[in-house]
Amino acid sequence: MNHGRDRSEVTSLDTSTAASAGGGPRVEVAARQFTGDDQHLFATLSGDSNPMHLDEDVARLTPAGARAVHGVHTVLWTLETLAAREDALSDLAALQVKFSNFAVVGQNVTLALRNAKDGSAKIEVISDGLALTSVTLKFGARASVARPSRGNPTPLPMPATPLDPAFETMRDFHAWLQPAAPLSAFDSAFPLLSRALGPERVRALALLSSLVGMVCPGMHSIFSEFTAEIMEIDQSRPGMEVWTRSVDTRFRRVSMGFAGSGLMGEVSALYRFPPIESSLATISTLVDPTEFAGRLALVVGGSRGLGAATAKLIVAGGGKAVITFARGVRQAEGICRELNSRYGAGRCSAMQFEVGLTPEAALADAGGPFTHIYYFATPQIFRPATELFSMSDFVAFNRVYVEAFYNLIAALPPLPGRSVCYPSSVAVEKRPKKMTAYAMAKAAGEILCEDLQRSIPGLTIRAPRLPRILTDQTAVVPPVEAADAVEVMLAFLRAETAVAPPAGHIDNKEGQ
Amino acid sequence: MTRDEIKWKIGELLADFLEEDKIELADDTVADDVDGWDSITHMKLVLAVEEFYGIRFESDEIAAPENVGALADLIANKCAEK
């Protein structure tokens, strides 16, 4: 073992297998996709069966937008790949890991080595040039003294379903977390890494995923980063002591310490918002039971977010709604059940409608004629990006905000006095960084609205530039100020009733 | 501690988080001007500034500063209040 060895060997280019990054600092050495089977395997190994990793319906409502690959799984893939290089991890002393963006199931990801400095090596899991996970390895003498235990932690077997502790109770968390799978499972899944570091440490790394995803913060968690020092392994007690170091309600952040099974370090996790739902109990107190009577609304994208809030407001106000969904059948049917139970059968129905497909057939069975159309269909808005503008993102936004909207309006049987809501965005004026494609598509949609209204007699289209609204898509952590969906849409619905704009007029004042 | 010293410290902390050798900040520098200065980086910067100066920001103060100059002023004011 040569402790003085130049760590840049870890990042050295193997010209037979690696693709040079055009002379740039990253050297790609491996690539893969994580599959659904991979998710279940890692969930079994680690005990982290948080549905954001396994259930597509649940994952849609998280910031990842799809089943998120366990961050720690990407770390173990990284280390397993490195362990194939002789002695690459032999004097590993510590690692520092940051989870910057989600990797999702089916996404192409690449392992890239970066230039080492200060005796360390940096490896990134990247996709389309964007870093998802970064692992910094430090080499040298390992810590010889373990931190003293903080008392007698309560044994905590791996829960079968994620816990959902209240934020306030996280401050006092202190336990001995027990592993979910035997060591032999790690010898099998990560053979090279287990030989290099010992299966106890590999299992301990996997256990960090469960600490965050199953225990604290648990159900509504995002693993942000961790550091781990390599220690002597205590064979007598599998698992690790875990404890809360700090809780910060401003950022919804929990910092925890851990020690055991040959590792000690710190974990930082965020407590994300639960799925955002507009409470019908609250809505019913805000709305006069007849103020929207006579409306038969088609709410495109009505299974969540602004669409769900709008449907609930209309029905609570005496109207009827047909809500459409692309994939959220459970959410859509749940909304209808709740509304029909409270306000009477037939007040709300749901239908599957994939924007982009020919709408005529769907509209024929939809139960119109609709007096009001609310178009909330949207692809994922916030997309990690490395460039100012992405043509593929622009195409995706246009497909929904322009093409599909046009096809729907053009396919509707004419009805004089019909009112259409096309939610534009303040992003058209304010142009937040890396949202150029989104702002351009919304601006194009506004122009389309003006021209549609000019060409279709009796049609009124309002395209309010809405502010950032708290929805599953926008409920990021640390939290960013956002308006309330019910408040914003109630104001709009009432403006629809109160104001009949002259022909050819498009309303696109902010927030109206 | 001068305003320039505070700005220098902010730059030093950012450079550490973003793994850069050095980050130069002007009074009118905003987060969008610095690659990687996203919400997570800003959270870490706030926490590090609080620890270094022994101060604490209220929730509404965290996002309030419109640029580095305003952040430096806020830090200076909070240090003076201690």
The three-state (H, E, C) secondary structure of A145-167, written as one string:
CCCCCCCCCEEECCCCCCCCCCH
Closest to A324 measured CA to CA, from A344, A298, A347, A343: A298
Nearest residue in chain B measured CA to CA from A385: B36
Predicted confidence at residue A368, as pLDDT, reads 82
- On whether the CB atoms of residues A242 and A219 are closer than 8 A, the answer is no
C-alpha A99/C-alpha B37 separation (Å) is: 15
Question: Is the minimum CB–CB distance between A133 and chain B shorter than 8 Å?
Answer: no
C-alpha A111/C-alpha A19 separation (Å) is: 11
C-alpha A302/C-alpha B6 separation (Å) is: 49
Please give, rounded to a whole number of angstroms, the shortest distance from the CA of B38 to a CA of chain A.
10
Binary contact (A250, B57; C-beta < 8 A): yes
pTM over 0.80: yes
Please give, rounded to a whole number of angstroms, the shortest distance from the CA of B21 to a CA of chain A.
11
Predicted confidence at residue A507, as pLDDT, reads 45
- On whether the CB atoms of residues A247 and A299 are closer than 8 A, the answer is no
Q: Enumerate the residues of chain B whose CB falls inside 8 A of the CB of residue A478.
A: 39-40, 42-43
Predicted confidence at residue A173, as pLDDT, reads 93
Q: Which amino acid is at A1?
A: M
Chain A / chain B CB contacts < 8 angstroms: 19
Please give, rounded to a whole number of angstroms, the shortest distance from the CA of B66 to a CA of chain A.
14
> Nearest CB to B40: which of A224, A250, A480?
A224
C-alpha A250/C-alpha A241 separation (Å) is: 27
Predicted confidence at residue A371, as pLDDT, reads 95
- On whether the CB atoms of residues B37 and B14 are closer than 8 A, the answer is yes
C-alpha B47/C-alpha B30 separation (Å) is: 18
- DSSP letter for A435, please: -
Closest to A305 measured CA to CA, from A328, A322, A284, A333: A328
Closest to A65 measured CA to CA, from A381, A419, A458, A422: A381
Between positions 281 and 340 of A, the ones with CB within 8 A of B are none
B5-26 b/e (C-beta count within 10 Å ≥ 16 → b): ebbebbbebbbebbeeeebebe
C-alpha A357/C-alpha A369 separation (Å) is: 20
- Could you list the beta-strand ranges (E) of A353-507: 372-375, 419-421, 424-425, 460-462, 465-466
A44-58 b/e (C-beta count within 10 Å ≥ 16 → b): ebbbbbbbbbbeeeb
Q: What tokens were used for A425?
A: 């965005």
Q: Enumerate the residues of chain A whose CB falls inside 8 A of the CB of residue B47.
A: 248, 251
C-alpha A332/C-alpha A326 separation (Å) is: 10
Binary contact (B63, A100; C-beta < 8 A): no
Predicted confidence at residue A116, as pLDDT, reads 64
Q: Which amino acid is at A26?
A: R
C-alpha A230/C-alpha A264 separation (Å) is: 7
Between positions 244 and 263 of A, the ones with CB within 8 A of B are 248, 250-251, 253
Assess whether the previous peptide bond of A369 is cis (omega < 30° from 0).
Answer: yes
User: Side by side, which strands form the sheet with A120-127?
Assistant: A19-20, A27-32, A109-114, A120-127, A130-139, A92-99, A221-230, A263-271, A253-260, A240-248, A174-177, A154-156
Binary contact (B43, A478; C-beta < 8 A): yes
What residues form DSSP beta bridges with A225? A98, A268
At residue A228, the 3 state secondary structure works out as strand
- On whether the CB atoms of residues A297 and A350 are closer than 8 A, the answer is no
Assess whether the previous peptide bond of A159 is cis (omega < 30° from 0).
Answer: no
What residues form DSSP beta bridges with A94? A138, A229
Nearest residue in chain A measured CA to CA from B44: A251
C-alpha A57/C-alpha A263 separation (Å) is: 35
Q: Which amino acid is at A193?
A: L
Helix (H) or strand (E) holding A72: helix A71-83
Question: Using only C-alpha atoms, what is the Rg of chain A?
Answer: 26
- On whether the CB atoms of residues A269 and A210 are closer than 8 A, the answer is no
Q: In Å, how far are A75, A89, A92, A186 from A193, measured between CA atoms?
A: 11, 8, 12, 9
Collect all residues from B whose CB is shorter than 8 A from any CB in A. 32, 39-40, 42-43, 46-47, 57, 59, 62-63
Between positions 429 and 448 of A, the ones with CB within 8 A of B are 433
Binary contact (A251, B43; C-beta < 8 A): yes
Alpha helices in B1-82 (DSSP H): 3-17, 39-53, 59-62, 68-81
Q: Report residue A86 CA to chain centroid gap.
A: 37
Residue A20 sits at φ, ψ, to 5 deg, of: -70, 140
Mutate to test the interface with B, among A115, A227, A245, A251 (most CBs of B within 10 A): A251
Q: Which amino acid is at A144?
A: S
Predicted confidence at residue A14, as pLDDT, reads 36
> Nearest CB to B39: which of A248, A250, A476?
A476
Please give, rounded to a whole number of angstroms, the shortest distance from the CA of B49 to a CA of chain A.
15
Binary contact (B39, A100; C-beta < 8 A): no
Q: Which amino acid is at A454?
A: R
> Nearest CB to A250: which of B39, B40, B59?
B59
C-alpha B68/C-alpha A280 separation (Å) is: 43
- On whether the CB atoms of residues A449 and A459 are closer than 8 A, the answer is no
Q: What tokens were used for A191?
A: 């053979």
Q: What is the mean pLDDT of each run of 10 residues along chain A (512 residues)?
A: 35 34 64 97 98 93 92 98 89 94 96 78 91 93 71 90 91 94 96 96 98 96 96 86 94 95 96 85 94 96 94 97 92 96 96 85 85 94 84 95 96 92 96 91 98 94 93 78 92 78 42 42
Alpha helices in A373-435 (DSSP H): 391-398, 405-411, 427-430
- On whether the CB atoms of residues A126 and A110 are closer than 8 A, the answer is yes
Binary contact (A100, B42; C-beta < 8 A): no
